[in-house]
Structure 1
Amino acid sequence: MQSKTGDRYVLDGNVVITYGNRKVEADHIEYDSATGELEATGHLKATGGANDEIINASHGTINLNKQTGRFYDVSGSVGLKRSGHNSKMVYANGHPFLFTGRVVVRRGPEEYEIYGGTVTSCQLEHPDWLLYAGKFEVNGEMASAHNSVFHLFNLPLLYMPYVTHPVSTEGRQSGFMIPVIGESSTKGLILGEQIYFAINRSTDLTVGAEYFSSRGWSQSAMLHYRGLDNDFATARYSGLLDRGYVSGGQYINQGGQDVTFSGRHDFSAQTRIASDMEYLSSYPYREAFTENFNQAVSTDILSFAYGVHEANGFASDVRADRYQGLKRIAVPATPTTPAIPAQEVRIFHAPAIETYSTDHALGTTGLLWNIEASTGGLKRVQPNFVSSGVTQRFDLHPEIAYPLKLGEWKFLPSLGVRETLYSRSLEPPKSAGEASVEHRGGLSRSDVEAQVDIRPPVIERTFDSKFVEKLFGSEVRHTIEPELKYRYVGGVDNFLKVLRFDDVDVVSDTNEMQYGVTQRLFLKPAKGKEAKPCKVAEKTDKDAGQDADQAQENDGGDADTDVPVSQCGAREWISWRLTQKYFFDKNFGGAVVDGKRNIFDTTLNLSGVAFLTEAREISPLVSRLRVRTSAKMDVEWDFDLDTGAKKFTSNNMLVDLHEGNTFAGLSYARLNAPGRSYTQGTSSLVSNFSQLRLLAGYGSPTKVGLGVAANVGLDLNLGSVQYGALQTSYNWDCCGLSVEYRKYELGSVRNENAYRFNFTLANIGSAGNLRRAERLF
């Protein structure tokens, strides 16, 4: 019903008034069109606005012209809306905000004052958590309150003198983060705080400090920039002012700094610059204080920066890089033994210019050609040897190939030449105990390369008998893919005089045949049976501005997207590749030095495990076996079998299992091979280690319920635990709690027991010192 007297309207019964992008509904409304004043009673509901506001009240007044008002007995939300295909409330942005209040006063289109009320981001009839305060102030960006009390499951838990909650769909807020509290057997009591600065829409900065009661002050800073398309920049700093400790009568200080930077800028689709750099002042600092085990035991640092332009199958780049590798850890002196200094290798390319191409057709001849060329300045620093000044190197490597096909046989013969010029060279030692020295004279290295890559026809057979179908539930297809490759390189008669900087410098004479076979088993739906519907994961571009740890911690980047496919065809069940090389020239043109770790480009192309310590005709047998037993389990077994030494130089196994919320993993790594040789003239020791890592757990970081997970790393040679962790968590609908115990045993550098926790509020954030990147789930 509706009536009008002058400018005043009186409306009753399911009244709806729409103005702009807002709507008012009530049982009874009196509205003055001249002043814009509106009085509503009975099931008052005001909705709309830029942030999808919803206000439910018993009664209230609104000025439609000024977009102000006063509401009583209110429950409402910001950032929630009804789904288009059902009546369910869904999140309209990443900062949903629900509130109640005795009185709510609207001061403007996006400004409110809430009296005697609560706020939360938990969309439940009885929220898991609430903030209570006498007054909340809400603007277009955030809600804030003084003297608020945090309630968890209706229990008052924490008093906060000042608190904010984001409201804007795009804006971010600067402010103090929730303090960090922890405990460690080596660090002692841990107290920390961070400040977050939202510099602009594309850039933010986090600065923090932690106090370790047993060691000193730790500092940290992190800068993130995310630009258009692939542009990004990330910088991170961590440091420790360590007051040290005394062990065995020796004062030990493990303080240091670690600085990293990575970034990328695309000038066009063909031209970009990128870098990934790190400065570490002390290896013991990282080993003793990083929370990532793999980083703690890593002794290599590689920094690089480059610019590249790609067009028409050619790529040209300018780059500079620095490699720093610790080869021996310093050992302090004891009353009975002298100190042993640390030893490391540093290699520089400063700078290098490179050009390389894909295969190009040579007119209509059927020939294909490609080229690689580079020039640059290089320097190497290592124990007992330092290259003087900067060594200039020029390398040119053109190649032509002619693809052939005879029936089902495929051939790719190729012919190439290589010329490499050095401004300095190496003077080989005259006796076994002498070290190599640098020679100021230049060096020219030339070679001729010939190669034939032969691919015989693939042999295949499909097993489709009833017995096979009954046993495997599908047809089984077996394929055998043989391969042969002959390679000859000649003309490198000065290998021992070449300074070593990278893989360009380990080209040697060779006369070899590589042979191998790859076998595959495919499971294919039987004839007359349709394949089961499946989904194929199509990955979107990830946020390149975050490194692996930070991406996990902040859930950076876009999520993977499942794209449905109507049918799935045959899937690979088992693949097994065996390959080996036979060397007709077992001395590699005189390049082999007995008792030393000889690394040539031909050995690197076969295996990453060194095996050449003397003249030999046959390489280890390289095996790579992968089994995908189902969509829930993968097994991989890789080994290098040295038939001459009659031992496995490497033997690795990986098992990964996922079944519902249960997951488990196993990795076994065995290495028994010549070790690193960091000085020319030092005998190759044997690297002999055996390690086992186990992971098992139940639960999910995003699902309601209990989760438990544990992992451990064992040194089987020493019979000791290198690290271990036990995590347990419980997720409610809108919050979760995780607790962890973690142990490190890294020799004399680190023997630590640490306890950490993390409390998470949905759509708000986390408090605690257990980062998402370090979780086991």
Structure 2
Amino acid sequence: MQHKRSRTFLLRSACVFLSTTLAGGIYPQLHAQQVPTSAPLPDSPAPQLNYPIAQLVTEPEDASHKLTVEADQMTRNGDDYTLTGNVEIHYNGYIVTAEKLSFNQETGEAVSDGHIRITGGPDDEYIAASHGQANLKQHTGKFYDVTGSVGVHTTAKGTTYTNSNPFLFTGRQVIQRGQRNYEILNGTVTSCQLPNPDWRLASKRFVVEDGQARGYNSVFRLLNMPVLFLPYVTHPTSPEERQSGFLIPSFSKAGSRKGYIIGEQVYVRLSRSSDITVGSEYFSVRGFSQLVTFRYKGNGLNFLTAHYTGLLDRGYHDSNGVYVNQGGQDFLLSGRKDLDEHSRIVANVEYLSSYVYREAFNDTFNQAVSTDVVSHAFAAYQKSGVSASLFGDRYQGLKNVVTGQQVRIIRAPSLDLDLIERRLGSSPLVWSFDASATGLKRAQQNFTTDGVIERLDLHPQISAPIHFGGWMARPSLGIRDTFYSRSRLPAVIPGPTPVQASATLNRTAIETGFEFKPPVLERTFAAKDLIFGREMKHTIESFLNYRYVTGVDNYTRTLRFDPVDVVTNTNELEYGVTQRLFFHKKDAPVCDEELAGNTRLTSGCGGMGESVRWRLAQKHFFDPSFNGSISQGRRNIFESTLDFSGIAFVTQPRELSPLISELRVRISDKTDVEWDVNYDFGQHRFTASNVFIDEHSGQYFGGLSFARLNAPGRFLTSPISDFTQLRVLLGYGAPNKKGFSAAVNSGIDLNAGQTQYGAFQVSYFWDCCGFSAEYRKFELGTVRNDNIYRFNFSLANIGSAGNLRRAERLF
């Protein structure tokens, strides 16, 4: 038999049915197989020769174009072939099945008189039709009574969407006019599972080409009820396609502060990797707000996002007849660019024009009450333990809510060099080095630095770590030399406002230290020794850190910008102990013990996990006055106390720091409890106490936090910082859980006896659409006392209508 070349393709569609070209498909020989033997067809087969089981296999040079055809019977008459019974074609990842299929080898014409089904492909495509015909060479064809999908993978375990734009459709007739060019007549499209989708678009005509499905004079049906007539609508069908256009308008009422809200946004796809959203909302009480969001996602970790919000506030008159305008702007930019495997550029920059604007109109409580704005950007190079960076940052903090007093600190530029610890030659010593050259500027009420203050800081260190029998000792020596181009005049009466001097300042500090850690003490208790019936291991870890710093005799002359500037003389000892309890989980294998040296090891303890951790730590100051650096009548923040406690506790000479206690108990995989306490022996009271409880059990979840602060205020002449707050979160469900979900949270000021904020959210989701509603309340003094009602109706892969955004949900 002569070999003949033929072209064929399996129908494929990015949104309706799969289409691919079997270009250059080769039919070398037809083999008729009758189990268990087979023999080749004769060179000139007689017409109407039937074989019980037939198979056609091609072996082209390109393995991806291998074609296999199987059927119960195969009949040939010249170039015409007829396959009957359990027809199955495999090609390039696709599978075509039919009861009867005929095709002409010369013209590529294929006709199915019965049901035909096509599955597979890179986009998990599927099409089923009652009958149809196609020209396998010209990529044209017609299918009737079609049901299909793209981006949906169905197995015995369930259905999974395999791309971001799953597309399901039905059609009385589907016409293929070319490769990836189709027309659906009297059909529907949806992103929901068939045959009973939650929503669908019905139209007499859909056109699919260039990664989009366009519908004309379509009707949007929700839960099989007609809701909206759309003269023209588009839907993306490509897995990576994002489509420009108008988003669903929003209309809502958000309390007395904003009034009725109507808004619209426009989404523009700039490229495959970037897009922008521009929108505006009209507040019937206050005026117009603006929103712009830009997004870019590059290769690897590269990205850039920018978000802007603003309000043109028409203002209002308060109870005293005073005009109040709370408008403002908030701009946030965040990005990263990796230049190579060692270099990158990173930025996180925010500009806020008014704290009142944030407090009055931000719908997230934590952001609404935040009084700090921090921006930073840097370019860094890191290789072989060396890090060099060009750094800049800006801090803006509100220090007095009543008067609006602010502090602004800028570090730009700052050239930093850091070398991690490394051995000094072949000796047991290790050394490290860090240095920075920085330009600094500070502005606050009644004080602004004169221009940019230059600072050069050099900090080499050397140490000798010693390990013996589980014991660890580490003596160290370091020198820190810091030069300032300006200084500060020592105040006769300590106060909050510094006075700048033109004289330069050089500070040289010598640091010595000694770290000491004994071996970890541990004991394993067998299950028979415990009432819990589970194996338990108890460990005790202790440490001592001694530190001595001298040479800082000009602290009161130092301008303060960051932790480098609050280095003082100190002579201190820090000590602490951490205890841990490890419980062997139920049904896990019992641990076997063995000794390695003087350390007890446990093996076979895959179920052993930390259940209790309790850490205690304190500092003793042998120099209570820090060489006279303490300013009487106010809080003092020094480098040695900055990171030790969450509160500033130095208001006068003292020998002991507060005792820090951190207790965490993991009751189960679903329940965590933590209690953090600061107890001040000088004040004889708890200055800080925080309790956190987190619980998850199935679909139920909850959380509770209790925060108590009773610490010195900014100045001793002002009231102490005294507040007690309680936060509660309770809920059932998940963000996209099918069916009903609900959650409630609240923040209560126990001192004032009022709720600062609260929210209650309910939602119900069907297969691919859902509805959420929320009530939210704010009580933030005279700036904001508002009740907000919001909702959101979402359609899978389409969008959402309403003013309840995902980032503000409680789940």
Q: Is the 8 A contact 1:518 1:576 kept in 2?
A: yes
Structure 1 match to 2:651: 613
1:204 is matched with 275
SS in 2 for 1:294: helix
Whether contact under 8 Å (2:279, 2:290) holds in the other structure is yes
Please give the TM-score of this superposition, normalised by the length of structure 1: 0.89
Q: 2:663 matched to which residue of 1?
A: 625
CA distance in 2, matches of 1:89, 1:581: 60
Task: Measure, in 2, the Cα distance between the counterparts of 1:18 and 1:434.
Answer: 81
Q: 1:49 to 1:521 in 2, by over 3 A?
A: closer
Determine if the alignment matches structure 1 residue 719 to structure 2 residue 753.
yes
Q: Does 1:604 align with 2:642?
A: yes
Name which of 736, 752, 772 aligns with 1:702: 736
Give 1:513's match in structure 2, choosing from 573, 598, 603.
Answer: 573
Change over 3 Å in CA distance of 1:22–1:697 after alignment to 2: closer
For the residues of structure 2 that align with 1:706 and 1:369, how far apart are their CA atoms? Answer: 60
CA distance in 2 between partners of 1:667 and 1:9 (Å): 76
- Aligned match of 2:263: 192
Contact kept, 8 Å, 1:49 with 1:109, in 2: the verdict is no
The one-letter code of the counterpart of 1:617 is E
Q: What do residues 20-67 of structure 1 show as CA deviations (whole Å, max 9, x unaligned)?
A: 776654333343333333332211334566644433222222111121
1:583 counterpart = 2:621: yes
Question: Which amino acid in the other structure matches residue 210 of structure 1?
Answer: E
Residue 115 of structure 2 aligns to a residue in which SS? strand
Contact kept? 2:585, 2:609, Cα under 8 Å:
no
1:526, CA displacement in angstroms? 9.3
Equivalent residue letter for 1:487: R
* Secondary structure of the corresponding residue to residue 199 of structure 1: strand
1:161 equivalenced with 2:231 (yes/no): yes
2:322 aligned to 226, 241, 250, which one? 250
Aligned alpha-carbon RMSD (Å)? 2.3
The corresponding residue for 1:556 is none
Query: Paired residue for 1:129, among 157, 175, 199?
Result: 199
Q: Does structure 1 retain, via aligned residues, the 8 Å contact 2:168–2:194?
A: no
**Amino acid paired to 1:505:** D
Question: CA 1:566–1:258 in structure 2 vs 1: closer, same or farther (change >3 Å)?
Answer: farther
The equivalent of 1:688 in structure 2 is: 722
Q: How does 1:265-304 map to 2 (within 5 A)?
A: 265-304=337-376
- Change in Cα spacing, 1:26 to 1:516, as seen in structure 2 (3 Å) is closer
Deviation at 1:448, TM superposition (A): 1.1
Q: C-alpha distance in 2, partners of 1:630/1:525?
A: 9
* Cα distance in 2 between the residues matched to 1:527 and 1:133: 59
Once residues 660 and 248 of structure 2 are traced to their aligned partners in structure 1, the CA distance between those partners, rounded to angstroms, is 52
Partner of 2:26: none
Cα distance per residue 1:598-636 (max 9 Å; x no partner): 110111131130011111111111111111111000011
Question: 1: CA distance between counterparts of 2:585 and 2:171?
Answer: 62
**Is the 1:664–1:696 Cα contact (8 Å) retained in structure 2?**
yes
The change in CA–CA distance for 1:285 and 1:38 in structure 2 (over 3 A counts) is same
SS at match of 2:137: coil
Q: Indicate the SS of the match to 2:130.
A: strand
Change over 3 Å in CA distance of 1:23–1:32 after alignment to 2: farther
Q: Distance in 1 between matches of 2:148 and 2:495?
A: 83
Find the partner of 1:147 among 203, 217, 229.
217
- Say which SS state the counterpart of residue 284 (structure 1) adopts: helix
Is 1:676 aligned to residue 714 of structure 2? yes
Distance of 1:459 and 1:30 partners within structure 2: 81
User: Is the Cα–Cα contact under 8 Å of residues 597 and 684 in structure 1 kept in the other structure?
Assistant: no
Letter in 2 for 1:170: E
Task: Give the C-alpha shift of residue 406 in structure 1.
Answer: 4.6
- Give SS of 2:695's match: strand
User: What letter matches 1:635 in structure 2?
Assistant: V
Given candidates 544, 548, 559, the residue that maps to 1:488 is: 548
| Alpha carbons 1:55, 1:75 under 8 Å: kept | yes
Shift of 1:718: 1.0
- Supply the distance in 2 between the matched residues of 1:659 and 1:175 (Cα, whole angstroms): 42
Aligned to 2:386: 314
Pair 51,220 (structure 1): closer, same or farther in 2 beyond 3 Å: same
Confirm whether residue 768 of structure 1 aligns to residue 802 of structure 2: yes
1:438 Cα offset (Å): 0.7
- SS across alignment from 1:34: coil
2:190 to 120, 138, 141: 120
Deviates more, 1:398-407 or 1:491-500: 398-407
- 1:640 correspondence with 2:700: no
Residues 3 and 114 from structure 1, CA distance in 2 versus in 1: closer, same or farther, beyond 3 angstroms?
same
Q: Which moved more, 1:565-574 or 1:757-766?
A: 565-574
CA distance in 2, matches of 1:6, 1:345: 91
In the alignment, what sits opposite 2:414?
A: 352
Give a deviation string over 1:276-308, Cα, whole Å, max 9, x none.
Answer: 101111111111111211111001011111111
Q: State the alpha-carbon separation in 2 of the partners of residues 732 and 528 from structure 1.
A: 39
Partner of 1:552: none
2:680 counterpart letter in structure 1: D
Distance (whole Å) between structure 2 residues aligned to residue 494 and residue 465 of structure 1? 61
**Greater Cα offset, 88-97 or 384-393:** 88-97
Tell me how far 1:765 sits from its aligned partner.
3.6
Q: Partner residue of 1:14?
A: 86
User: Residue 105 in 1 paired to residue 175 in 2?
Assistant: yes
Deviation at 1:434, TM superposition (A): 8.9
What secondary structure is seen at the aligned counterpart in 1 of 2:760?
Answer: strand
Comparing 640-649 and 697-706, the one that deviates more: 697-706
Secondary structure of the residue aligned to 2:113 is strand
Report how many aligned residue pairs link the two structures: 726
Aligned counterparts, 1:36-185, within 5 A: 36-47=108-119, 51-81=123-153, 83=155, 90-185=160-255
**How far apart are residue 136 of structure 1 and its match?**
1.4
**Paired residues for 1:371-520 under 5 Å:** 371-431=433-493, 435-464=497-526, 466-468=528-530, 471-520=531-580
1:759 aligns with 2:797: no
C-alpha separation between the residues in 2 aligned to 1:229 and 1:36? 45
Structure 2 contact 590–604 (Cα < 8 Å) conserved: no
Aligned amino acid, residue 720 of structure 1: Q
Q: What SS is found at the alignment partner of 2:565?
A: helix
List per-residue Cα deviations over 1:512-569 (Å, max 9, x = no partner).
11111111111136999358xxxxxxxxxxxxxxxxxxxxxxxxxxxxxxxxx99724
Query: Residue 527 and residue 693 in structure 1: after superposition, are their counterparts in 2 closer, same or farther (change >3 A)?
Result: closer
Residue 537 of structure 1: aligned partner: none
Range with greater deviation from structure 2 (685-694 or 293-302): 685-694
- TM-score (norm: length of structure 2): 0.86
Residue aligning to 1:534? none
Please list the CA deviations of residues 445-474 of structure 1 after superposition, one character each: whole Å capped at 9, or x if unmatched: 111111111112222222225240xx2231
Q: Do the aligned partners of residues 287 and 13 (structure 1) sit closer, same or farther apart at CA in structure 2, a change above 3 Å counting?
A: same
Question: Separation in 2 of the partners of 1:47 and 1:405?
Answer: 65
Q: Which residue of 2 aligns with 1:535?
A: none
List gaps (5 residues or longer) in structure 1: 331-340, 532-564
Deviation at 1:239, TM superposition (A): 0.8
2:589, 2:606 within 8 Å by CA — same for their partners in 1?
no
Higher Rg of the two aligned structures: 2
Instruction: Give the whole-Å Cα distance in 1 for the aligned partners of 2:680 and 2:801.
Output: 52
Of 205-214 and 33-42, deviating more is 33-42
**Separation (CA, whole Å) in 1 of partners of 2:546 and 2:351:** 44
CA contact (8 A) 1:95 1:764 kept: no
Contact 1:464 1:526 in 2 (8 A): no
Q: Hey, what's the Cα distance between the residues in 1 that align with 2:706 and 2:611? A: 22
Higher mean alpha-carbon deviation, 452-461 vs 290-299, is at: 452-461
Question: Partner residue of 1:364?
Answer: 426
- AA aligned to 1:518 is T
Using the TM superposition, give the Cα deviation of residue 124 of structure 1 relative to its aligned residue in structure 2, in angstroms. Answer: 3.6
Aligned to 1:561: none
Deviation at 1:208, TM superposition (A): 1.1
- Which 10-residue stretch deviates more, 520-529 or 666-675? 520-529
